[in-house]
């Protein structure tokens, strides 16, 4: 199997799904001739033409509104945000139309809204956001945030084939930094199912996206000290795979949640509540979390490094948890 980047895995998924299903169309800013800000759509225009690769003005509201209308008419649009931060511009479209159409009148809305997210690349406060929790809080949506090339390809294929609206976050720090073997044939990864990346019996570390790699780095360090961690990569945030989390916590009796999103209102709080409700008697220590700070993402590299979680911070929190 060939080794490819996450960016190439996403591009392959788009090509293959557009070849497989003529109802799949791509829409967004600079996705045609330029090939997208990060080149995720490079080559689509030459292959599928302007009728299926639709370049738009710089208007996120127009992009999402048009994609929503296309989905009502039987198409399966994949809309790209040039940077996911600007999904705020179309918040009304996403939450009041896309998310509620099936509830209101039974209309399927088979559309995907995808785009680069996350920090670590010194993009500053307007190009580094992790706004996933605005949408995890919105019934009617599905929210995906993969950490590997394999999962990015398989989950994007699943998202495109799903009859519900899916938000697909792509961590830009991972686009070209990770590579792995990805099957050339058709495959999908199920939405709503986490994966255990590493097994251990001393504590559970739950994470996703770029922080899943940080969690694995921390777990390798902890193992040298005799602390073995279960590392769970959520992959999907909505629906959340609480069963996998609870099964692990019942085995390890300790829980550490790591995410790049800011602390207040992050998914760590929801996971902690689920564990307290369903596995409180299994806990031997307070639930801990390592997150970004409650500020906008700083532009200056030293400040961004201070802002973001890292393996050192995760190891320190895990040590305290293990010895509690």
Q: Which two tokens stand for residue 277?
A: 């409700």
Cα–Cα distance for residue pair 43/49, rounded to 1 Å: 10
Cα(305)–Cα(13) distance, rounded to whole angstroms? 32
Q: Report the 3 state secondary structure along 240-298.
A: CCHHHHHHHHHHHCCEEEEEEEECCCCHHHHHHHHHHHHHHHHCCCCCEEEEECCCCCC
Return the closest-CA partner of residue 234 out of 254, 262, 211, 206: 206
Q: What are phi and psi of 76, to 5 degrees?
A: -125, 75
Query: CB–CB of 177/120 below 8 Å?
Result: no
Integer Cα distance of 168 and 170 in angstroms? 7
CA separation for the pair 21, 250 (Å, rounded):
43
Cβ atoms of 42 and 7 closer than 8 Å:
no
Asked whether the bond before 239 is cis by omega within 30 degrees of 0, the reply is yes
Residue with tokens 């920090």: 119
Annotated active-site residue 127? The verdict is yes
Candidate list 127, 171, 213, 259, residue with the active-site label? 127
Catalytic residue set? 127
């Amino acid at each position: 199997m060939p080794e490819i980047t996450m960016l190439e895995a996403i591009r392959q998924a788009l090509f293959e799904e557009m070849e497989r299903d003529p109802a799949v169309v791509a829409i967004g800013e600079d996705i045609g001739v330029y090939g997208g800000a990060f080149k995720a759509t490079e080559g689509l225009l030459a292959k599928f033409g302007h009728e299926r690769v639709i370049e738009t003005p710089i208007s996120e509201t127009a992009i999402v509104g048009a994609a929503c209308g296309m989905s009502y008419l039987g198409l399966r649009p994949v809309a790209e945000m040039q940077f996911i931060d600007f999904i705020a511009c179309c918040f009304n479209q996403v939450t009041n139309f896309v998310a509620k159409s099936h509830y209101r009148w039974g209309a399927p809305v088979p559309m995907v809204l995808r785009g680069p997210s996350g920090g670590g690349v010194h993009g500053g406060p307007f190009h580094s956001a992790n706004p996933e929790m605005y949408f995890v809080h919105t019934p009617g949506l599905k929210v995906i945030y993969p950490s590997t090339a394999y999962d990015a390809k398989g989950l994007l294929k699943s998202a495109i084939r799903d009859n519900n609206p899916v938000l697909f976050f792509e961590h830009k720090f991972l686009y070209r930094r990770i590579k792995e073997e990805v099957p050339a044939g058709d495959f999908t990864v199920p939405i709503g199912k986490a994966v255990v990346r590493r097994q251990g019996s001393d504590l559970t570390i739950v994470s996703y996206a770029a922080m899943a790699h940080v969690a694995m780095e921390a777990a390798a360090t902890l193992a040298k000290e005799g602390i073995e961690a279960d590392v769970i990569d959520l992959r999907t945030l909505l629906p959340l795979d609480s069963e996998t989390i609870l099964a692990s916590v019942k085995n390890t009796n300790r829980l550490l949640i790591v995410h790049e999103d800011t602390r207040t209102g992050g998914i760590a709080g929801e996971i902690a509540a689920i564990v307290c409700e369903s596995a409180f008697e299994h806990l031997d220590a307070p639930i801990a979390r390592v997150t970004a700070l409650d500020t906008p993402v700083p532009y200056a590299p030293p400040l961004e490094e201070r802002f973001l979680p890292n393996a050192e911070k995760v190891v320190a929190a895990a040590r305290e948890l293990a010895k509690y």
